[in-house]
Amino acid sequence: MAPSPIVTATLQSAVLSGTSNLLAQALTAYQTDSPLAIDWVPVFQFILYTIISTPPNFMWQGFLEETFPAYHVSPTKDAVASAAANDDKELDREAREDKLVEPKLNIRNTLVKLVFDQTVGAALNTLAFSMFMHSIQTAMARPEHLAAAHHSGSYLLSRGAVDYSKVDWRAVVRSSQLEFVPIFLAGLKLWPLVSLVNFAFVKSIEGRNLVGSLAGIAWGIYMSLVAAR
């Protein structure tokens, strides 16, 4: 039995999210001219965030599509010409060949979805990312003897690796507020174009999620570098 579209989308996004963090670590090692030592803790954190955030984002895209469909049915040029000529025989032939109507891009709905996605959706995703990362980084603060990257695997497998009792939520909210605008503005350089391509040319929610995840590799590298500050 094949997994549901939302499960498939979540797994795809999780793999690409982990990949983006690994690439960010490789880029940092290259820029600092230091040997690459994979730190599996941030990889785990990014994958976990993606597993949590992908399903609601998938449903959000579904809601936008149901509320503002990208395509509406419109008569084909041939059907219009046949109707104008009162050519019933030609209309019957076009009906048999399924050439009477065709999907047509609804520009108004596409623009409305773009605005909602890049305001409400982007704001919520930015806030969710910041809140999650600041909280889990505090919850997974490592003792000095396990802070090195080569100890990250052992730390992940240790008891109490994630301890949310250590989190100061007021500090998390404060930090998230401070970085909200810079991250939101950075996202406007990428995501409006991705959303426009998705809404205008990709018809399925699964396809849109895949396109978004592929674009998210570049975004994930940026966010990995932000989270590592």
- Is residue 62 located within the same domain as residue 112? yes
Number of domains in the chain: 2
Report how far residue 124's alpha carbon sits from residue 134's, in angstroms, rounded to the nearest whole number.
16
Same domain, 47 and 119: yes
Domain check: are 124 and 145 in the same one?
yes
List the one residue out of 161, 181, 211 whose CA is nearest residue 48. 161
Domain containing 174 equals 5-70+106-227
* Residues 92, 157 within the same domain: no
Same domain, 92 and 169: no
pLDDT tens for each residue of 66-78: 999 988 777 777 6
Residues 27 and 101 in one domain: no
User: Greater confidence, 167 or 209?
Assistant: 167
Query: Are residues 26 and 97 both part of a single domain?
Result: no
Q: What is the pLDDT of residues 27-57, one digit of tens each?
A: 999 988 999 999 999 999 999 999 999 999 9
34 and 147 housed in the same domain: yes
Residue 50: HSE in the Cβ half-sphere, 13 Å Cα cutoff: 30
Verify that 134 and 214 share a domain, yes or no. yes
pTM assigned to the model: 0.84
Tell me the average pLDDT of the chain: 88
Predicted pLDDT at 206: 80
